[in-house]
Amino acid sequence: MNLFWSQWRPVRGWFLSQLLLVASLSWTEELICKQRGDPENPSLFQDGDIILGGIFSFHTSWKVSQDTYTHKPRPLQCNSLNFREFQFAQTMLFAIEEINNSTDLLPGISLGYKLYDSCGSIARSTRAALALANGNEIAYTPSEAPCVSPAQVQAIVGETSSSPSTAIATVIGPLNIPMISHFATCACLSDKTKYPSFLRTIPSDYHQSRALAHLVKHFGWTWVGAIRTNDDYGNNGMATFTETAQQLGICLEYSVPFYRTDSEDKIEKIIGIIKSSTSKVIVAFLSHKDMDVLIPELSQYNLTGYQWVGSESWIVDSQTAAIDNEMFTEFWETLFNCRLKQSESSAGADRECTGHEDLTGVQNSFTDMSLMPIFNNVYKGVYAVAHALHKILSCKKTCNNTILQQIRKTNFKTKEGDEVYFNVNGDPPAKYEIVNWQPRENNIVDFVQVGLYDTTVPAGKQLNWQNKSLIWAQNSLEVPVSVCSEKCPPGTRKVLQKGKPVCCYDCVQCAEGEISNNTDSINCVRCHPEFWPNERRDACIKKEAVFLSYEEIMGALLTAASLFGTCMTAVVAFIFFRYRKTPIVRANNSELSFLLLFSLTLCFLCSLTFIGRPSEWSCMLRHTAFGITFVLCISCVLGKTMVVLMAFRSTLPGSNVMKWFGPAQQRLSVLGFTLIQVIICVLWLTISPPFPFKNFKELKDKIILECALGSPVGFWAVLGYIGLLAILCFIFAFLARKLPDNFNEAKFITFSMLIFCAVWITFIPAYVSSPGKFSVAVEIFAILASSYGLLICIFFPKCYVILLKPEKNTKKNVMGKGARAASP
């Protein structure tokens, strides 16, 4: 530490003595205000009453020099001449000359200009802006006056790129010097809190990025790659594009930054990403300077066959020359392919320049007018300043508006009819021409306008296409396909692949009962319960209504069985009526026999109410008719059983039981038993009657039309009551089973009740487990089977005797054997 101070002590003393010397000299001189550092001289200059500034990149890059920090850094040595920026500058000069020659706009006022070359450097752009604001002149002021002076220029036209524009706008914003850019499109520059004096005659990238996303969506490209300039222009523009693309269902396979000064390793890495990708469309949000560097690198690796979608910065830009030398010398030599006498940079030129070269017939990027819309932006910017100045100078009274405020309020039309105005963000209305590169002979590329994107019209109508054919990558006439997964056809839905973007998915068939009638459906839609998907599952078709109908085989057979039973019953009734006075008919209350035959007829016929399309009336009729007719039938059988049993008991000595169960009592018993069932049915129909019902659950692809029970309690009460009477009838018949053979009514009744009970016991599980119309068929079968059992077991033996054994149909034969059987 001591050594350190001992070494630096003499030096520090010398520095302080020098400082005191300078201070003592300054008190004796006038106060001088002058710019520190080397002055920045304009590349092009013309004096005038009012000076306009311009900053353009006449060169695109500079020679890199290593600073040693032993002397002041040297000025940038610019290289790579940019004809495009010369065209912008010439447009500005043309507009100024046109205004100076005008008698309507700024009459008597001449406009001058100072144009600086930024050389593509942000630092140099900032120095140029400060030079335009302050000037390079040495200013003498009184010792007490502040070191201030008015701005050297009223407005600055430029810069072309967004990053230099943000730097310049940050510096001159507090000074309220208007800056009007013709090509800086970064959406960030619309922020007036950061860049209050910035305006532009080209729309913000916010709209361009959205336009590019809608353009990509229009052609069905959902899987794209992206390259962006690694600056404010590219990063902000790509951020908006990515956000809009996600909203539109577009995925980026990759998004890589690139800058023209990147190393070879970084460029190779970018090329490797492109080569390994599967997308066939590349969205390039690049400046033309970066594109000029990138395209040769891609060509070197034979990366062809990709469809490029470009931003306005390079999409209408012809190739840019890049030759090193002093600006004017290289410009003239490159333009006319000649060499100046003292020039050593024109190697390859065959002739010397004369200085009188003619532009007629010269075809290169300087004479290329494909950038005319951008030239027009420069033209509009100059005229916007002129109109604002004109209004301020024409003000007859005190006007407090600054040039910046007046430019913001300006609204005029150019000679071509283009309306020029700025919104609150200093941006013009956004309209974009959609350009398609179409190669012609001799390696000439035509920039053909094929559409327009206009943000001033309502959403959905902003993208308009002209009826022109497009030429795609490798001169193809077919739209290229760039998707991660093929579109899912109708009938399927998208299922995302694990760990991949939403554009990568598998197509899975819709589940049962669901459809998708659109391509790339995210979800399948369930059909209405009355509909069912077709085989492709892309449409819902009406389900077939299923019910037991007369037309189908099962319905026809059951109908035939019902009618046949009715006919048989009618035949038996006719036989009994024909032989009603014979002993075998009269032996067991013929009145009950006819009533039983009538009820059996109703039982056979009530089964027909179960066949056919269910309706409100048929549903109520089928169960109630079945319940009442079967109770009537069982009541008659029960009456006959009791008659047989009582008749046998009455033959015993001292028994007078028959007087308590005569014909009147038999009729009352049948009426009473039936009346109870009628009451049950009336209560059922009153409280919760059966009703037609569409069953969607039993069968997936069919609708079962059936009768809902309404109240299950009512249904099982009806069946339960029938079962109770059947059991009573079976018990009485069982007690009378040992009657004499000739008086065998009870034995046949027992057997018929056995069949009846067996049928209805097996009916319950079969009915519950049978689906749809088969449950109805089971119920009809049970009705018919039990009815046939009663008819055959009770009446067929008697008909056999009546018709085939008439000799046994005598009172003596019936009563005689009965008497012997009763004797001990």
DSSP state string for 185-243: --GGGG-TTT-TTEEESS--HHHHHHHHHHHHHHTT--EEEEEEESSHHHHHHHHHHHH
At 664, list the tokens.
């009147």
Chain-centre distance for alpha carbon 750:
74
First CA to last CA across the chain, in angstroms?
154
What's the mean pLDDT in 296-306?
85
C-beta separation of 613 from 718 below 8 A: no
Q: Is the pLDDT of residue 241 over 80?
A: yes
- Residue 335 to residue 366: CA distance in whole angstroms: 7
At 624-648, the pLDDT tens digits run 888 898 888 888 888 777 766 666 6
Quick one: pLDDT band at residue 669, thresholds 50, 70, 90?
confident
C-beta separation of 211 from 432 below 8 A: yes
What pTM did the predictor assign? 0.60
Query: What is the dihedral sign for C-alpha 337, 339, 343, 346?
Result: positive
At 310, list the tokens.
């470009």
What's the mean pLDDT in 566-585?
87
- Residue 333 to residue 319: CA distance in whole angstroms: 17
Which pLDDT score, from 0 to 100, does residue 447 have?
Answer: 82
- Residue 427 to residue 200: CA distance in whole angstroms: 6
Quick one: pLDDT band at residue 814, thresholds 50, 70, 90?
low
728 or 748, which is more confident? 728
At 641, list the tokens.
């059983």
Q: Is the pLDDT of residue 594 over 80?
A: yes
Quick one: pLDDT band at residue 274, thresholds 50, 70, 90?
very high
Q: How many helices (H) and strands (E) does the chain have?
A: 21, 28
Distances from the Cα of 136 to the Cαs of 35, 47, 54, 132, in angstroms?
A: 6, 15, 16, 9
Q: Is the pLDDT of residue 619 over 90?
A: no
Which pLDDT score, from 0 to 100, does residue 202 have?
Answer: 92
- Residue 73 to residue 71: CA distance in whole angstroms: 6
Quick one: pLDDT band at residue 706, thresholds 50, 70, 90?
confident
Lowest mean pLDDT of 368-372, 616-620, 670-674, 679-683, name the range.
368-372
What's the mean pLDDT in 674-696?
89
At 139-166, the pLDDT tens digits run 545 555 555 555 679 999 989 888 899 9
At 356-372, the pLDDT tens digits run 566 555 555 555 555 57
At 414-469, the pLDDT tens digits run 988 889 999 999 999 998 889 888 888 777 778 888 999 998 888 888 888 887 88
200 or 3, which is more confident? 200
At 96-134, the pLDDT tens digits run 999 999 999 999 999 999 999 998 889 899 999 998 988
Which pLDDT score, from 0 to 100, does residue 2 have?
Answer: 33
454 or 582, which is more confident? 454
Cβ within 8 Å of residue 120, ≥6 positions away:
57, 59, 60, 61, 62, 78, 161, 289
Which pLDDT score, from 0 to 100, does residue 356 have?
Answer: 59
How deeply is 560 buried, as exposed, middle or buried, from its count of CB atoms within 10 A (0-12, 13-18, 19+)?
exposed
Residue from 544, 448, 529, 533 nearest 490 by CA: 533
- Residue 171 to residue 4: CA distance in whole angstroms: 42
C-beta separation of 420 from 428 below 8 A: yes
Chain-centre distance for alpha carbon 627:
58
At 680, list the tokens.
């049950």
Instruction: Name the helix (H) or strand (E) containing 411.
Output: strand 411-413
Which pLDDT score, from 0 to 100, does residue 98 have?
Answer: 93
73 or 677, which is more confident? 677
List phi, psi (to 5°) of 198: -90, 130
Quick one: pLDDT band at residue 48, thresholds 50, 70, 90?
very high
Q: What share of the chain in percent tops pLDDT 70? A: 81
The interaxial angle of helices 590-606 and 616-650, nearest 10 deg, is 160
Which pLDDT score, from 0 to 100, does residue 214 have?
Answer: 93
